[in-house]
Amino acid sequence: MRILFVCKHNRFRSKVAEAYLKKINKNKRIQVVSAGVFKGNPISNNVISIGKKLGINIIHKTQGLKSKGMNRIDLLIIVADDVPVSLFKGKVKNIIVWKINDTSETNKIRIEKTMKEIFKKVDSLNKDIEGGKIKWKR
């Protein structure tokens, strides 16, 4: 199973979701990746250090979306309020949208709050995966 988290630039929200699901889900058959609609600038040190404080390791390199391979994604999760679902209609069958606001890379309080919001969403997703509530259809 392949899960793709998407946000606008792959600098914060999708990276956090990817890192946290990789940390909590121990099922080796689930592959987790993230990307941005646009490849972003390097990830801010604040995001990386707050992630470490909260127990996740965020990979520095950002990734842009590639249309090649989209048909191999079992579940796409838009972790953003600024990415339209219409970009993925007809390319991915299973789409979930979490309308999470972006924040300034200098606002440490907001970064931590948003990370914790993403953690709650990922916890719920992981519970649904482990409980068989999410069915994979290709």
Residue 137 lies in a domain: no
How many domains would you assign to the chain? 1
Residue ranges making up the domain that contains 99: 2-130
**What pTM was estimated for this model as a whole?**
0.93
Could you give the count of Cα atoms lying within 13 Å of 134 in the half-sphere of its Cβ?
20
In tens, the pLDDT along 57-97 reads 998 789 999 877 788 899 999 999 999 999 998 888 899 99
Q: CATH number of the domain that 62 lies in?
A: 3.40.50.2300
The two structure tokens encoding residue 73: 């994604």
* DSSP class of 102: P
Q: Is residue 115 part of a domain?
A: yes
Residue 24 lies inside a defined structural domain of this protein: yes
Rounded CA gap, 117 and 123, in Å? 10
The per-residue pLDDT for 57 is: 94
